[in-house]
Structure 1
């Protein structure tokens, strides 16, 4: 049938084709919008990461501010107390790490030399690799590493300066978010149309609850990982056990990949310092701890916080790493969880009852 002017060409097409075309068009528009947002976030990556890290730290430190507020102190005092707690948590482990490295600095070269000799003997006996070939491979690897690092020294220095600036910005933002959080929320609510304020306020509250649960759950899982692997390193006698424990704790904030990288580093240190037997023991301990974490702790602690499929988590981590490096991988999953909760609430049918959620925290006294 030839379509007349009233129906038009589109009405002559099958309904399924029109529906597919509309869906494809919407998908392209959404993909383009997401791509532009990601490109913008990459262009201002230090600012983006500073804001996201500040939100995560605020979610962690909010109970401290609330506790000080319940004692009758102004919000500024509560925010300052939260900042002091954060500084103590950051500085004390750094000092302990420095002390541990300084104490073992004299013994470490001898331990590494003995461990490397045991590893060479094991490789020569198990695989028939000559010591000359091993020395040549190590020398070539060192030369390649130096040739890769030296030309980019200026870029690494600039990245360090940007990271320091982003850390300072995050610290300032955390203070203001702890101090003026309710007023910032009220100001943002006033920017919305009146008919949509309640819906978007509920969406923002659900997103914030997901962020807070994720941050606290991740800290709990990371602490358990660090204690388990750190205890194994101490029992086996691996040098630099405390720095490796701290590395395990920090790496746990990168889902999926972080624990693997930290375990690989601990295994390599054990191999270099104690030989293949110590390395196998450390590897076994890392595998046991990660299995307990992945199959027991994470579903128990993080299940309610994320409600995301593991495939979604893996894609989010990969996208974050591609756009923002290690820092992007660390913040990608909480951002995905927040976006999911906000979108789910905002697009929920108005007649559908709201899902059960944790009760909102009691109002804090204004300072």
Structure 2
């Protein structure tokens, strides 16, 4: 017998793990909570970092897939309308893609034809506007001509020192063209066979998971469609309002500036701010500070009407996100994938939030609706379940 076991009764078990458990239990609850939450945050941060690294490796593919989903949700009503006319699925999808290309090409040709003649005039107006801006700065601010010239020279030298790598530029253009072509091909197949693909995925699931996944997919797709159509409508209203104000104020290149406003509307908060700043700068350089201030007032008025009146009416409540979430999503998307990432970050965040909320609601409804099963009586043995069909999807919660 070992000397350490002399005082132990036969059959008595030694708890070798009592030391660490007692040490953990003796810690204050605040320290234990901090340790647990810190470990969870480290795991979540590592997962996000790994996902970001993978996304950066396949950035063109990720951008193409995100753009495809966005365009498919936007054009899905058009494709369904063509299917109601008894057109085949392939023909309806092809006509929808051709309609998209026709609209984009028509807008591009219209903008070019209406603004190509203004570029030569804009050069002279910008020169005169810059001279007026220079006089305004030196007369109203404590800045001399020599200081302003030195600042401009430093800025021009910093810009000229930035070397342009032709190989990197060619690679970027090739990746952009390839992503656009891939997005168009994926868009055709998603419009043609998207519902069949989703049903194939659902058939691979069993039990209550099928119902949860089906409802989450419906909610996510509905959210993406509402977001895409609502964002396009709001961006169009902003572009029309600001473009009309620029025309009335006599600002040159009003149509391209309205187009920039429309594109910037797809990046909430940041896109509208940048587009408005570009319009104010063009007005300042071309027509002077008075027109620039009037342009700034028009931009602020249109954005306030859009944010406080139109967005609550057009956007559904379940699509809207808090401004803090929007800023974080846009910043993260821009850091990961540049301008394209900023475009797709907000719809991805909206869809992810709605899917998580839908899954949580269904699980809570299932937990409250299913009573706990009573144990079988000792006198009556538990009956074996009768064979029957496989249970279908879970009912949609109210």
**TM-score of the alignment, normalized to the shorter chain, above 0.5:** yes
> Match of 1:268?
281
> Match of 1:9?
20
1:54 to 1:254, Cα distance in 2 relative to 1, 3 A: same
> Match of 2:373?
none
Shift of 1:84: 1.6
Shift of 1:355: 6.2
> Match of 1:31?
45
> Match of 1:364?
none
> Match of 2:235?
222
Q: Secondary structure at the match of 1:105?
A: helix
Q: Distance in 2 between matches of 1:39 and 1:355?
A: 38
> Match of 1:162?
175
More displaced 10-residue stretch of structure 1: 336-345 or 184-193: 184-193
Task: Identify the match of residue 189 of structure 1 among 190, 196, 202.
Answer: 202
> Match of 2:391?
none
Shift of 1:109: 1.8
> Match of 1:362?
none
> Match of 2:367?
351
> Match of 2:298?
285
On the 8 A contact 1:64/1:81 being kept in 2, the answer is no
Q: Deviations over 1:245-271 (max 9, x none)?
A: 111100111111111111111111111
On the 8 A contact 2:226/2:316 being kept in 1, the answer is no
More displaced 10-residue stretch of structure 1: 292-301 or 177-186: 292-301
Shift of 1:7: 5.2
1:22 to 1:129, Cα distance in 2 relative to 1, 3 A: closer
Q: Distance in 2 between matches of 1:270 and 1:153?
A: 34
Q: Distance in 2 between matches of 1:71 and 1:334?
A: 31
Aligned Cα root-mean-square deviation (Å)? 2.3
Unaligned regions of 5+ residues in structure 2, if any? 1-13, 370-395
On the 8 A contact 2:276/2:299 being kept in 1, the answer is yes
> Match of 1:359?
none
Shift of 1:291: 1.7
Shift of 1:182: 1.1
Q: Distance in 2 between matches of 1:41 and 1:254?
A: 20
Q: Is 1:54–2:68 an aligned residue pair?
A: yes
Q: Distance in 2 between matches of 1:108 and 1:307?
A: 40
Q: Is 1:301–2:317 an aligned residue pair?
A: no
> Match of 1:324?
337
Structure (1 or 2) with the greater helix fraction: 1
Q: Is 1:42–2:51 an aligned residue pair?
A: no
Shift of 1:92: 1.5
On the 8 A contact 1:214/1:305 being kept in 2, the answer is no
Q: Distance in 2 between matches of 1:355 and 1:209?
A: 16
On the 8 A contact 1:211/1:305 being kept in 2, the answer is no
On the 8 A contact 2:318/2:354 being kept in 1, the answer is no
> Match of 1:172?
185
Aligned residues between the structures: 353
On the 8 A contact 1:93/1:246 being kept in 2, the answer is no
Shift of 1:6: 6.4
1:255 to 1:235, Cα distance in 2 relative to 1, 3 A: same
Q: Distance in 2 between matches of 1:229 and 1:204?
A: 37
1:145 to 1:352, Cα distance in 2 relative to 1, 3 A: farther
Q: Deviations over 1:106-144 (max 9, x none)?
A: 322221122222222222322264445444433442332
> Match of 1:243?
256
Structure index of larger Rg: 2
More displaced 10-residue stretch of structure 1: 154-163 or 42-51: 154-163
1:135 to 1:21, Cα distance in 2 relative to 1, 3 A: closer
Unaligned regions of 5+ residues in structure 1, if any? 357-367
On the 8 A contact 1:55/1:174 being kept in 2, the answer is yes
More displaced 10-residue stretch of structure 1: 23-32 or 263-272: 23-32
1:93 to 1:270, Cα distance in 2 relative to 1, 3 A: same
1:12 to 1:120, Cα distance in 2 relative to 1, 3 A: closer
Q: Is 1:334–2:347 an aligned residue pair?
A: yes
> Match of 2:214?
201
Shift of 1:146: 2.7
Shift of 1:223: 0.6
Q: Distance in 1 between matches of 2:87 and 2:202?
A: 26
> Match of 1:233?
246
Higher relative contact order (CA 8 A, sep 6+): 1
Q: Distance in 2 between matches of 1:128 and 1:310?
A: 37
Task: Identify the match of residue 80 of structure 2 among 33, 54, 66.
Answer: 66
Normalization by structure 1: what TM-score? 0.89
